[in-house]
Amino acid sequence: MTLFDYVQRGGPIMYILILGNIISFTIIIWKYLVFNSEKKRVNDLADSLFQAIRNESKGNISLEYAKEKIEQHVYSLEKGMNIIKITATTSPLLGLLGTVLGILFAFETISEQGLGRPELFASGIAMALITTAGGLLVAIPNNIFYNFLNSSLNNIQMKLEEVLIPKINNSGN
């Protein structure tokens, strides 16, 4: 049996899971590339943030304002991460929905056809199991990558603070 056969047997829930996974993995790759770029240019980014803070504060630079600017920058990097998290958390629920629909289909088949044709009953059970597995296969890697990217984002924030805060303390304020 091919992968496409499993997807077809899983029904429409499988197509929703695949679509969500494609969207999520596109964002994962995009965020991975962006975060790697940010890590490589932390010093330049800290310099540009320092200049922006100096220009906006008109010489009166506060540590709180600098931390706020760092948080704003990190928040701008965070965009799209919620889609990965939503995919990771809703995929098992979609798999469970497929399970319920598959079992419902199996029992409807029994009520209409009786137990004389077990292959009809088995197709509903197969749908139930395939969607459960599909939901977990989507959720597990998305959860892992979400946590990995979130950790990378926290590291970027910490490195920015490590570089920028001494600059502010040394600026004489």
Do 69 and 91 form a contact (C-beta atoms < 8 A)?
no
Q: Can you give the residue ranges of every domain in the chain?
A: 8-169
Report helix, strand or coil for 79: coil
pLDDT at site 151: 97
Report helix, strand or coil for 68: helix
Dihedral sign of CA atoms 20, 24, 25, 27 in order: positive
pLDDT at site 8: 83
pLDDT at site 23: 97
pLDDT at site 106: 85
Q: Which residues contact 105 (CB under 8 A, 6 or more apart)?
A: 123, 124, 127
Backbone angles phi, psi at 12, to 5 degrees: -65, -25
Do 51 and 142 form a contact (C-beta atoms < 8 A)?
no
By the 10 Å C-beta count (0-12 exposed, 13-18 middle, 19+ buried), 74 is classed as: middle
pLDDT at site 169: 80
Residues 18 and 12: their CA atoms lie apart, in Å, by: 10
Dihedral sign of CA atoms 6, 12, 15, 17 in order: negative
Q: What is the pTM of this model?
A: 0.84
From first to last of its 173 residues, what are the pLDDT tens digits of the chain? Answer: 787 888 888 889 999 999 999 999 999 999 999 999 999 999 898 888 888 888 887 667 778 888 888 899 999 999 999 999 999 999 999 999 999 998 888 888 888 877 777 777 787 788 889 999 999 999 999 999 999 999 999 999 999 999 888 888 877 54
pLDDT at site 59: 64
Considering only CA atoms, give the Rg of the chain: 25
Do 140 and 91 form a contact (C-beta atoms < 8 A)?
no
